[in-house]
Amino acid sequence: MDLVEKQGPDYMTKLRNQAERNLPQTIKTIYEMNDKNFGMLSLSEESTSACMWERYTDHGRGFLLEFDSSHSWFSQKVAQDDDLRHLRRVTYVADRTPAYLLATSAQDYLYTKETKWDYEKEWRIILNFNSAACRTGKDYTGTDILLFAIPPDCLLSVTVGYNASHAFVEQVRTAIAANPSLSHVCLRAARRREDGSIEIGAIDAV
């Protein structure tokens, strides 16, 4: 305290500058800790984005899952101020330069991305690995593959891509039909129009 009183504002400025210089490493450490303990399910409110279909469904060869966001699985808060375990919208900002550590919130480092990603219209739910249903081995980096159990009634529809093969479409159709708990799930298909836009309709209509 004597040093603070002697140097006054200059000393406090020095401390703040030092903290801000160390902040990138601190944020990196926080991310690494989260990566080891928490899994993130990233979803989108946009189902007909041509860019998203190209980027995330292997150029239209894959499929799209539609979930019921009002389902209780997406709202598992253990406390009113719980930053995890419930669906939250991602905020997009032009400048993600880290703020002073004490002013950084969970929204800042868990639910914020740069505006170049705003076309994704992302929502996230983050869960602790302890709540995973099972482990199925390791990926190519040696990291454990953990699977979470999402209730079947969370799923509303499956949309196969505009470049999906007939064999793949039949594989998806068969998988849905073989599971009684998915009898409510609609099977749809995406079609790419001449102008590049995406249209989603009934599987036999597109």
pLDDT in tens, 113-124: 999 999 999 999
- How far is Cα 151 from Cα 71, in angstroms, rounded to an integer? 9
In terms of Cα–Cα distance, which of 148, 123, 118 is closest to 68?
123
Same domain, 100 and 65: no
Same domain, 89 and 30: yes
Q: What is the mean pLDDT of residues 14-27?
A: 62
CA atoms within 13 A on the CB side of 118: 7
Structural domain includes residue 116: yes
- Comparison of pLDDT for 169 and 105, the residue scoring more: 169
Structural domain includes residue 165: yes
| Highest-pLDDT range among 1-15, 19-33, 103-117, 162-176 | 162-176
- How far is Cα 120 from Cα 158, in angstroms, rounded to an integer? 19
Same domain, 204 and 103: no
Q: What is the pLDDT of residue 1?
A: 41
Same domain, 85 and 99: yes
Coil/strand/helix, residue 44 = strand
Domain of residue 1 covers 1-44+72-129
Amino acid at 40: M
Same domain, 99 and 198: no
- Say if CB 62 and CB 163 are below 8 A apart: no
Same domain, 185 and 202: yes
Q: What is the pLDDT of residue 2?
A: 43
Mean pLDDT of the chain: 85
- How far is Cα 186 from Cα 166, in angstroms, rounded to an integer? 18
Confidence of residue 61 (pLDDT cuts 50, 70, 90): very high
DSSP 62: S
- Comparison of pLDDT for 107 and 155, the residue scoring more: 155
- Comparison of pLDDT for 74 and 28, the residue scoring more: 74
- How far is Cα 140 from Cα 55, in angstroms, rounded to an integer? 21
pTM as predicted? 0.80
Same domain, 112 and 177: no
- Comparison of pLDDT for 19 and 140, the residue scoring more: 140
Same domain, 36 and 57: no
Same domain, 58 and 87: no
For the cut 70, the answer to whether the pLDDT of residue 184 exceeds it is: yes
Confidence of residue 31 (pLDDT cuts 50, 70, 90): low
| Number of structural domains the chain divides into | 2
Q: What is the pLDDT of residue 22?
A: 67
Same domain, 78 and 125: yes
Q: What is the pLDDT of residue 100?
A: 53
For the cut 80, the answer to whether the pLDDT of residue 36 exceeds it is: no
- How far is Cα 147 from Cα 144, in angstroms, rounded to an integer? 10
For the cut 90, the answer to whether the pLDDT of residue 190 exceeds it is: yes
